[in-house]
Amino acid sequence: MTNLTAWVSQNTPNFISSTLLATTPAPTEAEPVSNSLVLAAVLLTLVVIYSASKIGAEICTRINLPTVLGELVGGVVIGISALHLLVFPEGGMTAADSLIMQFLEFTANLSPQAAEEVFRSQSEVISVLAELGVVILLFEVGLESDLKELLKVGPQAVTVAVVGVAAPFAGGTLGLFYLFGVPLIPAIFAGAALTATSIGITSKVLTEMGKLNTTEGNIILGAAVLDDVLGIIVLAVVAGLAKTGEIEVGNVIYLIISAAVFLVGAIIVGRLLNPYFVKLINKMQTRGELLLTSLVFAFVLSYIGGVIQLEAILGSFAAGLVLAETEKQEDLQKQLFPIADMLVPIFFVAVGAKTNLGVLNPTNPTNQEALVLAGFLILVAIVGKLITGATVFGKPGINRLAVGIGMIPRGEVGLVFVSVGAASGSLNKATEAAIIMMVIVTTFLAPPLLRLVFQSGSAEDLSTELSGALSSETSEPETK
């Protein structure tokens, strides 16, 4: 295949592309040609993404690590930190920085300007596909969850979420301010970035291990969803604070009410509509009736979730929860399986590819300061979530360590804080880099730890032993 491509590119007379392109004067008019080039770029990118995700996943499975870690690492390898195959324009990257685009330029005889245009479109499409991937992932997770079981651990999940937001926020902000002399606003931003758990990573690991429907899994999942909502509220507060210097009370109240109305409302309305949904599908006679009707439901909720400043994934998760209660659940789950297989890896590989390990390079002076801050933030990030396991009440014999570890990964939400903070000018380079380091470490650390702690123990003795170790560890930041 490579030979063929090389042969073709060497033997493609230049006048072909010039003939075809020359007939379309302005770049905006070049729809047919440019569309097929964007498609070619997207196809090539998907080939690279799938290859990286499968190689990473297969290696991780063999050394007994979660496959999602393999997908993340696969993304890092092809991304901005290493091979530069898949880069995104966000960090000021251009088509010249992307090996995929250079390959396309070479094989399709593309001009650098055209390549730049294709690069932007390709990045846009891949980003949306990645987001669609996590929307589908959460839909799948919702579909595999049991709303009743989730509600049973509701009080525990609320406690875990609230403690898991409050402890790292307070620890991070106060620590940076008092111990490291960081000014208050950046300290608050960094503290806020420590709050929200990445539902995507945690739920993927739980699903992989078949632990989604355990008590621990339900607590983690419920708490991660609430955490996400709390994180968004914290973000709104902090962003307002950075801008006007005061807290926008109306804003906070609006977000709390809309989140509550949305999540509760979606589930109540959804459950009321369930019988009609099943009836409608049973009356339909054409291919894809169940899948498309379900996707319409999930996407409507995702749209509302996105548009009211919450997150699209909350909508698809709620849709999954609701549809899990219908008789169609099993069928739908089967049909969603290959779609998730196709779209979800794009998300994890993209997260990895966007992760710039350059911030970990200690030879850069900014990074030296950042590394110290990062060390502290990572400690607070881990300990602040680990202690949440200790707060679970009324569930004797539970694996408290697993709950705590399940809340550790910060993933994409932490990065949103960084970008909003950086754009508002309230974060300096070192603090920014430190937050990114914290996100990287927690994201990559949590999957293997979670697997370890779940594998080592349904055995309660081990669990209690470890939570003994945990409570001595958790007292550490208090005494600091």
Instruction: Considering only residues 63 through 82, tell me which ones interact with its own copies, judged by CB under 8 A.
Output: 67, 70
The Cβ of residue 192 has, within 10 Å, a number of other Cβ atoms equal to 26
Q: Alpha helix locations (H) across 249-328? A: 249-283, 289-307, 312-323
Residues 327-386 that bind its own copies (CB under 8 A): 335-339, 341-342, 345
Residues with Cβ < 8 Å from 79, sequence gap 6 or more?
85, 86, 87, 352, 353, 354, 355
210 binds its own copies (CB under 8 A): no
User: Shortest CA distance to 435 belongs to which of 411, 412, 416, 418?
Assistant: 418
Q: Is-contact 114 292, C-beta < 8 A?
A: no
Radius of gyration of the chain (CA): 24
Nearest-approach distance from CB 265 to its own copies, in angstroms: 6
Nearest-approach distance from CB 351 to its own copies, in angstroms: 13
38 binds its own copies (CB under 8 A): yes
Nearest-approach distance from CB 7 to its own copies, in angstroms: 8
- Environment class of residue 414 by beta-carbon count within 10 Å: exposed (0-12), middle (13-18) or buried (19+)? buried
Of the pair 174, 308, the CB lying nearest its own copies is at 308
DSSP labels, 159-221: HHHHHHHHHHHHHHHHIIIIIS---HHHHHHHHHHTT---HHHHHHHHHHHT-TTSHHHHHHH
Nearest-approach distance from CB 48 to its own copies, in angstroms: 9
Q: Which of 246, 279, 287, 363 binds its own copies (CB under 8 A)?
A: 287
Nearest-approach distance from CB 469 to its own copies, in angstroms: 32
Q: Which of 73, 295, 323, 408 binds its own copies (CB under 8 A)?
A: 295
308 binds its own copies (CB under 8 A): yes
Residues 6-25 that bind its own copies (CB under 8 A): 8-9, 11-13, 15-17, 19-20, 22-25
Of the pair 139, 177, the CB lying nearest its own copies is at 139
Q: What span, in angstroms and rounded, lies between the C-alpha atoms of 374 and 437?
A: 6
Task: Write down how long the chain is.
Answer: 480
The Cβ of residue 431 has, within 10 Å, a number of other Cβ atoms equal to 27
Q: What span, in angstroms and rounded, lies between the C-alpha atoms of 13 and 114?
A: 18
Please tell me the count of residues contacting its own copies according to CB under 8 A. 105
97 binds its own copies (CB under 8 A): no
Of the pair 243, 480, the CB lying nearest its own copies is at 243
At 475, give phi and psi (nearest 5°).
-75, -15
Q: What span, in angstroms and rounded, lies between the C-alpha atoms of 429 and 182?
A: 12
> Can you tell me which residue has the tokens 């008590």?
215
101 binds its own copies (CB under 8 A): no
Region from 78-86, 209-217, 288-296, 364-372 binding its own copies, contact rule CB under 8 A: 288-296
Q: Which of 306, 375, 448, 457 binds its own copies (CB under 8 A)?
A: 306
51 binds its own copies (CB under 8 A): yes
189 binds its own copies (CB under 8 A): no
Residues 226-285 that bind its own copies (CB under 8 A): 236, 239-240, 242-243, 248, 250-251, 254-255, 258, 261-262, 265, 269, 284-285
Of the pair 129, 470, the CB lying nearest its own copies is at 129
Of the pair 82, 272, the CB lying nearest its own copies is at 272
